[in-house]
Chain A
Amino acid sequence: MQQTTVTLKINGKTIKADPKSTILEVAKKHNIDIPALCYHPDLPVKANCRLCLIEIKGNEGLYTACSRKAEEGIEVKTESPEIVRARRINLELIFAQHCEECIDCILFPDCEMLRLAKKYGAQCRRFTDRKTKYPIYQFGPSIIFDSRKCIDCRNCVDVCAKQNVNFLEIKEKGHLFQIVTSKDKDKDCIYCGQCITHCPSGAFEAVGEFEDIEEPLKEKNKTVVFQIAPSIRSSIGEEFDMPHGSVVMEQIVAGIKKLGVDKVFDVSVGADFTTTEEAKELAERLEKGSVLPMFTSCCPSWVKYVEFKYPKLIPHLTTVRSPHMMSGGLIKTYWAEKEKIDPKKIKVVSIMPCTSKKYEITRKEFRINGIPPVDYVLTTRELAFLFRKHKIDLKTIKPIPADNPIGDPSGAGVIYGASGGVMESALRSAHEMITGKPLKKLEFKNVRGLKGLKTADITINKRKLKVAVANGIANAEKIIKELESDPKKYDYVEVMACFGGCIGGGGQPVPTNDEIRKKRAQSLYKIDTKKKIRSAHQNPIVKKVYKEFLTSKKKIHHICHSSFSPKPKSCIKQLR
């Protein structure tokens, strides 16, 4: 029988541990500092960086804590002259691959490599950088990969494989392996940005991060408005040393106003419109028996994956626009009309947890009368950097309630940021639309949580609705495979490319792991619970806009829907 706990000693301290956990995990849990750069809890253990070195009493030599399981009775030492020396030299060798550019790095100032260099007295410049001539790549309008900074830990390759994208590969060039982009015509980047959040050396970043972040503020004679995605409110606090899951919506509003921006919108309001339309579409598809299951389409990485890899599944995607494209469009039509501003003179800046949204705003299918609904996308990290640059600290700033020039969101609009949120929001509304009666219990708990693939059966009007929620593209792939053998397996499928949904997005603060994702998500659900109005279609502003503005099918289609088409492999530029 497997023992439930083992007792071991780390640095003389007796610790009880799960025998399935590694010594590194046990140490982390007990706040014992063991450096590890290639370790990420989302990924299989590789033991490449050779920093998490330990000694085990009675055994010769050094071991790696990431690959060694907690065993009964062992005595582990995490620091010794040998360990320190080996860590120092290996760090120097890691820095020998890494062309530093700290000032513009997404990991600065909390860079783990720099912290370790300091701790172990490693000279970052002991060896000449060997990668100075390595290329810099740009993946579409979303991601930059500067392979001169890469330390070959291969987290990016592993996470890309975990996404079933396999766009990043290792290839041998002149007897040395490097990370390269796949030349395979069937493999394409989906811009999810998980490579960014899993890279310990800052080799990946969003396009424009951070050199272009001031651009929206330079717009002359324009009405610049910012809109905040649902998930930002519970994640950006981390950039200002606040506890994970801190809700800082009002601080964000205050910060943006301090930047001189007048109008701050909440994308959750856009989400309420998305939900309302999507619930309508679902009810319609169910009634007419047209293409099912219906797939959500608010994740542009998922959309790109379908358009590139499974174009025959395009009819399954709901044509309803994603929340920020919805609200962007409403700002430039409904609100512009109300405020009597020329839509061409409005610049919409979306603050997104996402690198793929930088791509989404370039899609021509979204234009309304030739105008893109959104002009700029800044990631959570970029907004945080912009704040810091302007000496704005969210921890100390006086909160200002969101003015929400269009209106306030429902609880449903806020939970969009977590995996299952779109599904839950749509079900709340669809139920009432189909049955004519409001739900007694609004929570759909079995579509919540970080599990990669969640399924549920929901009864609406005696009809059993089969739903599935996937986060992580590999899980969506499982659903696609299931549907190949049983096309009627599901009626409605939500897919988010990033682990845990947008709260784990590629534009979110680093580090990201399940523990952090959980806290970010919990805070969104807490906001929902406290809201008076928790279903999108009941939001007074939604009702009002439909009554006053979205009055014809044509208009609704024009502003609230989009279209999709098969897409070729995207443009990968080699910048140098």
Chain B
Amino acid sequence: MTIIPKLMESGLTGRGGGGFPTGKKWGIVKKAKGDKKYIVCNGSEGEPGVFKDRYILEKYPEEVIEGIKIALKTFPNSSAYIFLNKNYYKKFKTKLKSLTKNLPITLFKKTGGYLSGEETVLLNEIQKETKYEPRLKPPYPTQSGLFNQPTLINNVETFYYIAQVAKDKYKQTRFYSISGDIPNKGVFELPISWSAQKILKETGNFPAHPFFVQTGGGAMGEVLLPKELNQKVEGAGAIIIYDKKKTDSFKLMEKWAKFFLKGNCDKCVPCREGVYRINEMVRTRKIDCKILSDLFFVMEQTSFCPLGKGATLPFKSLCNKLQLL
């Protein structure tokens, strides 16, 4: 069986956070018409509490490169970029360069912020556009991406698993970044079917003290109470545990708000102004519930890119579940 049907059959989904079926994406790029095709390995990992790509680059760089090589073979006349955040570039460039010698693979050091991980911002950055802003979709990168050519963008972890699928070694697992007020922090490769509760228990991280968790990511992730842990961990696969007594909810929200204020691109009204106003309210501890719900509404419904749409979730879930307001 060739790789695309294999990927389809495996059910592998993107591990950057979007969860798009990998086989389907490959199929679209394969069919797309272009003078040449581009492959981008997204290693921009920049959200607090998400550090599994770093772990993979450290432990299994050969497997990641293997995944990219499979893509190069699958798409004739293609070349690849590995897009790395500054720290990862510094840390892994020597190793990665030795592995990609004589291959049409370029290492690219990210200069932008958090949003540069968004796939179209990333493309603009590689193209050296002046503004690091997301692009209008359609066209999707799979049809017209880097330099207007069909482009496959997959996360570091996804490429790792592509190599596993090719070798028939993929066992329906993923990498979880676990951090926070717990003893056994780290990255764990575990079944995707496991619930958050099971993951915490099996890794020896289920707290005895009152707590809440944030899953998905340390900024965009949803806040869950201990009784809600009977669900799978989605997104970028992060679990952050907060000691309920020790955590100042407002300080936590301030941290998120600042992260988004710094990380968003200020292109569209709801995200730029919404995040600004949330930050102001959280900073001054003066929250107007009516305004907050209006801001959430326009951010979720009308933001240009996933950042603005998703940035409301942590605030919303924390405020609701801890009954802050």
Contact = CB atoms under 8 A, between A and B. Distances in A.
Interface in A322-353: none
B273 A97 contact: yes
A82 B301 contact: yes
A522 interface: no
A437 interface: no
Contacts, number: 72
A97 B297 CA distance: 19
Contacts of A51: 269
Contacts of B62: none
B36 interface: no
Contacts of A49: 268-269
Q: Which of B262, B265, B266, B303 has the most CB of A within 10 A?
A: B266
Nearest to A50: B302
Contact of B273 (A47, A82, A96): A96
B304 interface: yes
B304 A48 contact: yes
Interface stretch (A87-95, A296-304, A308-316, A462-470): A87-95
Contacts of A94: 269, 273
Nearest to B275: A175
B139 to A, nearest CB: 11
Contacts of A126: 291
Contacts of B141: none
Contact of A62 (B267, B273, B274, B302): B302
Question: Could you tell me the dominant secondary structure of chain B's interface residues?
Answer: helix
A93 B274 contact: yes
B269 A61 contact: no
**Chain A interface: which size bin?**
20 to 34
A47 B302 contact: no
Interface in A39-54: 45-51, 53
Interface in A160-193: 170, 172, 175-177
Contacts of B23: none
A93 B136 CA distance: 22
Given A67-B136, A90-B298, A176 B270 contact: no
Nearest to B273: A93
B194 interface: no
B299 to A, nearest CB: 10
Contact of A93 (B258, B266, B269): B269
B276 interface: yes
A85 interface: yes
Nearest to A46: B267
Contact of B262 (A48, A130, A175): A175
B295 interface: yes
A48 B268 contact: yes
B105 interface: no
Contacts of A172: 266
A510 B289 CA distance: 40
Contacts of A46: 267
A94 B270 CA distance: 9
B303 to A, nearest CB: 8
Nearest to B260: A175
Interface of B: 131, 136, 258, 261-262, 265-270, 272-274, 276-277, 291, 294-295, 297-298, 301-304
21 contacts: A45-B136, A47-B136, A48-B267, A48-B268, A50-B268, A50-B270, A50-B302, A50-B303, A51-B269, A67-B136, A85-B294, A89-B295, A89-B297, A89-B298, A93-B270, A93-B274, A152-B272, A170-B131, A175-B262, A176-B261, A177-B265
Interface of A: 45-51, 53, 61-62, 67, 82, 85-86, 89-90, 92-94, 96-97, 126-127, 130, 151-152, 170, 172, 175-177
Lowest 5 CB-CB distances: which A-B pairs, in order? A93-B273, A177-B266, A50-B302, A89-B298, A175-B261
